[in-house]
């Protein structure tokens, strides 16, 4: 029996000339096209205010998208066939009457309509309202990029307004970290193997670290970032989502709501951080001038679009606790920042040491048994343990088992955006954030946001190219541990 082909679609990309479209979305759609994963009649309609004709926009795509495509060399014939899918519509998203042009362009397009809002959150409600007025929402799907609001109140207002136009099952709140191959392997590691499940609990886990570090600064996004900061930009979504996957109970299936129900239980079990606990458990920092890979970089205050007196944080480290039977008493240390020592995203599970060692102090050293899940720049899983060194005596040395995906699996890895866009087209919601998850995360970070807004203390300064303020190291030292890069 012949298998059905990929579903037809009309993919409408708002913000079609923007940075996100050029860096991530169109390269991901090209990769899916190149790999034969898109329906032959699938169309891409790019929408933006920029005054371009069709050929002018294709020239823009050729100039800005081609250099961002990774993997194999670009085949000119495949590239031309990809461009044939694209139509450009110049449209002011703030003018509802202009959406008649989009309706005419879509016409009787076959397959599911997908509206991807790669715009600022201020345009989410106007665009969705105009789509509803134009009669384009029935059976459609809408993808909302982060940040979805500025705080719980603004997020709720956006969700309420969008929810009056689209059903929850039509709304795809994207967090691209959930599409990374190593995050998918975290599900496989935990729920496809009996090896780790008995150890994945407070009796055997000493602490867990989750780090998302960047070498880059604000990269021309100073106006946006200075109103956002690391807590809103990274912790409220990426880090808390990764933490919820690490800490969740096994779901009954991989159906969307079964997975998201378990993540929600973790988010609702987070111990509140209030009052003086914020000073003890949260470190905020801001980078000053330094060097990245030998190249001098400016301080945050000197970045274009940043207020000279800004107290916006570019670094956050937190100690988080989950108040349930599996994790009570186990500290989760979350860390993210810009202009740090390396570009890396990883999850580090430190298992407890043996209760008594007959083999010397090495067996009692924290971190002797560890699972490290690397998300970027390369994806891998490493299990560290102790073994005897060759020769006389019983001298222990750290060894590891390493699964490097790019070496073990011969096929090319699928980038996160490619996986997530294909899930939108196919109607798979498991890797997208449900409204109650998002609001639970906002509710947890709200006291920290409010506290910082009333405090006169500025963020702690750290040099670009380092790993953040010294207070972030002290945060872990109080729990007899350290960040992974500090061990060596």
Residue in the structure block whose two tokens are 């702690």: 460
Structure tokens at 9: 């679609």
| 301 is an active site residue | no
Query: Is 281 within 8 Å of 318 (Cβ atoms)?
Result: yes
Residue 209 to residues 60, 192, 331, 439: CA-CA distances in angstroms?
42, 23, 9, 24
In the annotated binding site for substrate, the residues are 176, 180, 214, 233, 338
Peptide bond into 239 cis (omega under 30): no
In the annotated binding site for NADP(+), the residues are 146
Q: Which residues of 435-447 are buried (b: 16+ CB within 10 A; e: fewer)?
A: bbbbbbbbbbbee
Query: Is 402 within 8 Å of 378 (Cβ atoms)?
Result: no
Distance of CA 262 to the CA centre of its chain: 19
Q: Alpha-carbon distance 77 to 72, whole Å?
A: 14
**Cβ contacts of 290 within 8 Å, gap of 6 or more:** 296, 297, 339, 463, 464, 465, 466
Find the catalytic residue in 54, 64, 110, 238. 238
Q: Alpha-carbon distance 66 to 194, whole Å?
A: 44
**Sign of torsion over alpha carbons 37, 84, 69, 173:** negative
Identify the three-state secondary structure at position 189: helix
In the annotated binding site, the residues are 146, 176, 180, 214, 233, 338
The tally of CA atoms less than 13 A away on the side-chain side of residue 89 is 21
At residue 311, φ and ψ (nearest 5 deg) are: -110, 20
**Sign of torsion over alpha carbons 17, 19, 25, 31:** positive
Active site residues: 238
């Amino acid at each position: 029996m012949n298998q059905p082909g990929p579903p037809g679609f009309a993919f409408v990309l708002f913000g079609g000339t923007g940075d996100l479209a050029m860096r991530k979305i169109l390269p991901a759609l090209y990769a899916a096209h190149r790999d034969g994963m898109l329906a032959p009649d699938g169309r891409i309609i790019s929408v933006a205010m920029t005054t371009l004709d069709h050929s002018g926009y294709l020239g823009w795509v050729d100039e800005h998208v081609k250099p961002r495509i990774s993997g194999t060399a670009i085949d000119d014939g495949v590239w031309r066939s990809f461009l044939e899918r694209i139509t450009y519509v110049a449209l002011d998203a703030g003018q509802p009457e202009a959406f008649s042009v989009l309706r005419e362009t879509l016409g009787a397009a076959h397959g599911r309509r997908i509206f991807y809002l790669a715009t600022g959150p201020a345009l989410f409600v106007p665009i969705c309202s105009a789509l509803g007025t134009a009669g384009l929402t029935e059976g459609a799907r809408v993808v909302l990029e982060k940040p979805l609001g500025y705080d719980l109140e603004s997020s709720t207002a956006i969700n309420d307004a969008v929810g009056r136009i689209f059903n929850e099952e039509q709304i795809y709140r994207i967090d691209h970290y959930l599409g990374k191959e190593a995050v998918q392997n975290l599900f496989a590691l935990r729920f496809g193997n009996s090896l780790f499940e008995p150890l994945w609990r407070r009796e055997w886990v000493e602490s867990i670290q989750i780090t998302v570090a960047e070498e880059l600064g604000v990269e021309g996004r100073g106006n946006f970032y200075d109103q956002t900061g690391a807590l809103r930009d990274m912790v409220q979504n990426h880090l808390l989502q990764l933490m919820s996957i690490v800490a969740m109970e096994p779901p009954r299936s991989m159906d969307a709501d079964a997975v998201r129900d378990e993540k929600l239980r973790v988010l609702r079990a987070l111990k509140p951080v209030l009052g003086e606990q914020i000073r003890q458990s949260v470190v905020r920092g801001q980078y000053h001038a330094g060097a990245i890979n030998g190249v001098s970089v400016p301080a945050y205050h000197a970045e274009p679009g940043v207020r000279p007196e800004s107290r916006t944080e570019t670094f956050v480290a937190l100690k988080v606790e989950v108040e349930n039977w599996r994790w009570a008493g186990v500290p989760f240390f979350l860390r993210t920042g810009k202009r740090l020592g390396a570009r890396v995203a990883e999850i580090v599970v430190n298992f407890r040491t043996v209760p008594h060692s007959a083999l010397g102090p090495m067996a009692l050293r924290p971190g002797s048994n560890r699972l490290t899940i690397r998300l970027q720049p390369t994806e891998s899983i490493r299990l560290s343990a102790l073994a005897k060194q060759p020769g006389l005596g019983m001298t222990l040395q750290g060894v590891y088992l390493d699964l490097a995906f790019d070496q073990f699996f011969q096929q090319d890895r699928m980038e996160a955006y490619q996986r997530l866009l294909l899930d939108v087209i196919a109607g798979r919601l498991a890797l997208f954030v449900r409204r109650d998850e998002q609001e639970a995360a906002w509710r947890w970070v709200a006291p920290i946001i409010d506290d910082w807004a009333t405090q006169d203390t500025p963020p702690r300064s750290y040099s670009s190219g380092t790993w953040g303020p010294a207070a972030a190291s002290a945060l872990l030292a109080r729990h007899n541990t350290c960040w992974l890069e500090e061990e060596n």
